[in-house]
Amino acid sequence: MIKDRLPNRIFIKLLLGFWLCSSLIIAIVGLLPLLQQNHDRAPLPPHLEKLLERYAERIIDNPEIIQNNQFRRLSHRRDFQGKPIRFYLVNDQGRVINTEKVSRGMRRFMLMAEETSEPISHQFKDELLFGPYDFEVLGKQYSLYGRFNDRHPRPWFFFFAENKLLTLTLAIGLSGLICGLLAWHLGKPLRTLRLSADALANGDLTNRVDNATTKRKDEIGQLAQAFNGMADSVENMVNSQQRLISDISHELRTPLTRLQLALALARKKGQESAETKRIAYEAEQLEKMISELLELSKVKLNAHDHKKHLGLAETLGQVLDDAEFEAEQQQKELSIEIDEEIELPLYPKPLSRAIENLLRNAIRYSHSSVSIKAHKAMNIVTIEITDDGPGIDNEQDLQAIFKPFYRPQSARERESGGWGLGLAITEAAVMAHQGKITASNLVPHGLNVTIELPS
């Protein structure tokens, strides 16, 4: 119960992630102007205050400078560390009276000074402005401001405050990076879950979500644990089902063997009749069906044994020889195109049985020719078996022919009289290789079965 109350839920992660990301960006963008203002603006230094006081005293001592409009000669001085200083004399109406050219920076500074209750200095990009110094001459109030060129080193982050477009671009990029990391943190385990689900759906019952995902402390970790538990149950259930089918098939063989033995004894005693022949035929068919069921169960139960890395042509050698002989007996042509260099991890017996089933079906239903081709592209080995037979008319039958005991209403099944287990064994063998098998009709007629196996 305590663990459930900890802030480890996806909701908390999403909330904190997006909230912190947006708050961080807003704080950075909002604080830059404030930091710049606090860095550039400062109380009036004593040495600059004394400089303004000294020039104000000269005006106070010589009031005729103002009366005779001679104060313009006080505008420029060169007595402060060798830097030219410019002074601005402002009357009680806020008008600069010693010059008609007032820079935009000075006007901004005068507005800043009016908002404060004490003299200040402010560092603009390449000049320092300071003041005011208030004094009285002949009963009138005046204020004195100063300015000189000065470039002080500034913190590197002020570059962003001066380049707002670049700052906005970087802010968008930073937020995208943070959100991308959060999306990756949440998306990676979900992709792992999806891959495990796909593998389970494709027949790999041993596939599980990795430990890194199951050990997470959020809902995704809980989902991964639940998925692995479900996969364990599914695997046990399917294996139990296959073992049950296998056990039943074995048990059925005992009375079937006794039945065949009784029929043999009856024949020796001369008791053979049409009925006993029919019983013998059905017993033989039942024996074949039980063998097919045992084979299907064996393929599915042993689907995850260790594979062997072998050549495809070598593995299918005996099957291809038998198929050539069978095609020759039926006056049909079998074309084989398999690259001798194709190698892949496989289960030799299940794959050979799968190809044998497909070739026998193709030879049985073809008119004159059958072909088997295999090629490797990237990490996939593709095997194609085609015939020039009638194909399968019904599209639904075409999609379902690999299901156990499925008997479509088509010419193929009516003629074969099978139980629908041969192609089911083929599909089980392909699925055991984590491959896939599909069937499609050819134009104008014929059937193509394609097997794709990972290499």
Q: Percentage of the chain surpassing pLDDT 70?
A: 77
Closest CA to 83 of 143, 132, 145, 128: 128
Q: What is the pLDDT of residue 321?
A: 92
Give ∠ CA 20-26-30 in degrees, rounded to 5.
145
Over range 111-138, report the average pLDDT.
83
Q: What is the pLDDT of residue 40?
A: 55
CATH code 1.10.287.130 region(s) in the chain: 203-301
How remote is the C-alpha of 123 from its chain's centroid?
Answer: 51
CATH code 3.30.450.160 region(s) in the chain: 44-149
Q: What is the residue-averaged pLDDT of the chain? A: 78
Q: What is the pLDDT of residue 79?
A: 52
Q: What is the pLDDT of residue 72?
A: 58
End-to-end CA distance of the chain: 48
Q: What is the pLDDT of residue 451?
A: 92
Measured CA to CA, the distance from residue 352 to residue 17 in angstroms comes to 55
Query: Which residues does residue 382 pair with via DSSP β-bridges, in sequence order?
Result: 375, 452
Task: Give the pLDDT band (50/70/90) at residue 204.
Answer: confident
Q: What is the pLDDT of residue 450?
A: 93
pLDDT tens-digit series, residues 47-103: 888 888 888 888 888 887 776 666 555 555 545 566 778 888 888 888 888 777 888
Q: Which CATH class is domain 308-454?
A: alpha beta
Query: Which residues does residue 310 pair with via DSSP β-bridges, in sequence order?
Result: 344
Query: 36-40, 130-134, 226-230: which has the minimum mean pLDDT?
Result: 36-40
Q: What is the pLDDT of residue 6?
A: 47
Statement: residue 394 has pLDDT above 50: yes
Q: What is the pLDDT of residue 172?
A: 76
Q: What is the pLDDT of residue 386?
A: 93
Q: Which of 152, 185, 250, 433 is catalytic?
A: 250
Measured CA to CA, the distance from residue 89 to residue 98 in angstroms comes to 6
Closest CA to 317 of 336, 298, 331: 336
Task: Give the pLDDT band (50/70/90) at residue 1.
Answer: very low
Q: What is the pLDDT of residue 414?
A: 42
CA separation (Å) from 399 to 87, 438, 441? 94, 8, 11
Say which residue, 441 or 169, is predicted with more confidence.
Answer: 441
CATH number of 203-301: 1.10.287.130
Q: Is 45 helix (H, G, I), strand (E, B) or coil?
A: coil
Q: What are phi and psi of 338, to 5 degrees?
A: -130, 120
Statement: residue 203 has pLDDT above 60: yes
Q: What is the pLDDT of residue 449?
A: 92
pLDDT tens-digit series, residues 259-282: 878 878 877 877 777 877 888 877
CATH architecture of 44-149: 2-Layer Sandwich (3.30)
Measured CA to CA, the distance from residue 33 to residue 30 in angstroms comes to 7
pLDDT tens-digit series, residues 5-26: 545 566 676 677 777 777 776 7
Say which residue, 181 or 251, is predicted with more confidence.
Answer: 181
250 a catalytic residue: yes
Measured CA to CA, the distance from residue 32 to residue 65 in angstroms comes to 45
Query: 208-212, 241-245, 344-348, 390-394: which has the minimum mean pLDDT?
Result: 241-245
Q: How many residues does the chain have?
A: 455
Q: What is the pLDDT of residue 369?
A: 92
Asked if 238 and 296 count as a contact pair (C-beta separation under 8 A), the reply is no
CATH code 3.30.565.10 region(s) in the chain: 308-454
Task: Give the pLDDT band (50/70/90) at residue 411.
Answer: very low
User: Which segments within 198-322 are labelled E, that is strand?
Assistant: 308-311
CA separation (Å) from 423 to 161, 426, 427, 446? 72, 5, 6, 17
pLDDT tens-digit series, residues 179-193: 777 778 777 888 888
According to DSSP, residue 44 is labeled P
Task: Give the pLDDT band (50/70/90) at residue 169.
Answer: confident
Q: What is the pLDDT of residue 412?
A: 44
Over range 357-385, report the average pLDDT.
90
Query: 54-68, 169-183, 397-411: which has the minimum mean pLDDT?
Result: 397-411
